[in-house]
A = this chain, B = another copy of it.
Amino acid sequence: MDNCRVNGTATRTIDLSDRGFQYGDGVFTTVRVQDGVPLFLGRHLDRLRHDGKRLAIPYVGSGVLLEDVRALLGDRQQAILKIQMTRGMGGRGYRLPETVVPTRVVSLHPPAPYPAEYPDSGVEVRYCRTRLGINPALAGLKHMNRLEQILARADWSAGPTVEGLMRDTEGYLVEGTMTNVFLVREGCLLTPFLDRCGVRGIMRSIIMEGAAELGITVSEERVSPADAEAADELFLTNSIIGLWPVRSLEHRHYPVGPVALELAEWLKKTTRNAINAWSAG
């Protein structure tokens, strides 16, 4: 953590009674900064607003967040921004405060140290032993209760495995510990429904829009490990990595295929446009 602001003030600490610390009572989003531009920031702020609303946490407002982001970024070119929005302080126990004054925390981090070849070479992934519990009330949200992902990330340590895929308690494939997952089947894209668990990633939405733009049919489905086994291609997305083709999942090997490559190319162009638009405006 290089630098942080809490409610607009530079600091490295948070009040112990903040509900973010007491209960994980908050939402967050993680933004890639490239060439000095926080990529797709508008979408990330929309997500904070949307996810907060699902939890009855009022939005802190884009104006103050933009101010925080600009203050932290300075002339940094490559970085990661994390924006958290908690329910603030107050309330007795789990009970909501009568008036919620959300806390905003914006922090700047070094860029992710992933090898530059992953987008071309693809990555090795495996299944995690840890399952995702099913709870529609929290499904899709990027909330601050992340113990399932932490346990899942501890299911493997060193070695060539780069990401772990998680199934829900009924055995369906949902997502990676930090990524969303896409399958390619006969030229069409499919990705797991996130109505029962999982995080609806910003990059997932962007890639789905890209597919639509490129005339690639895309559907959300209940996906089984057998579906993943039978897929022609598999790839992972998130806002930090962009798109990584999957080279292998357990014993099954996949090609770095044409659909992933076409979408990666489209993403590169879209990202460049986003950078130009930000710099211009």
Q: Which residues of A contact B (CB under 8 A)?
A: 1, 4, 6, 11-25, 55-56, 87, 93-96, 105, 107, 130-138, 143-154, 169, 177-178, 197
Contact = CB atoms under 8 A, between A and B. Distances in A.
A14 B4 CA distance: 14
11 contacts: A12-B16, A14-B16, A16-B107, A19-B150, A23-B144, A23-B145, A55-B151, A133-B133, A133-B197, A145-B145, A145-B147
A158 to B, nearest CB: 11
Nearest to A4: B16
Nearest to A18: B21
A97 B125 CA distance: 21
Given A144-B23, A147-B24, A6 B16 contact: yes
B146 A138 contact: no
A143 B147 contact: yes
Nearest to A177: B94
A245 to B, nearest CB: 21
Contacts of A21: 14, 18, 20-21
A153 B23 contact: no
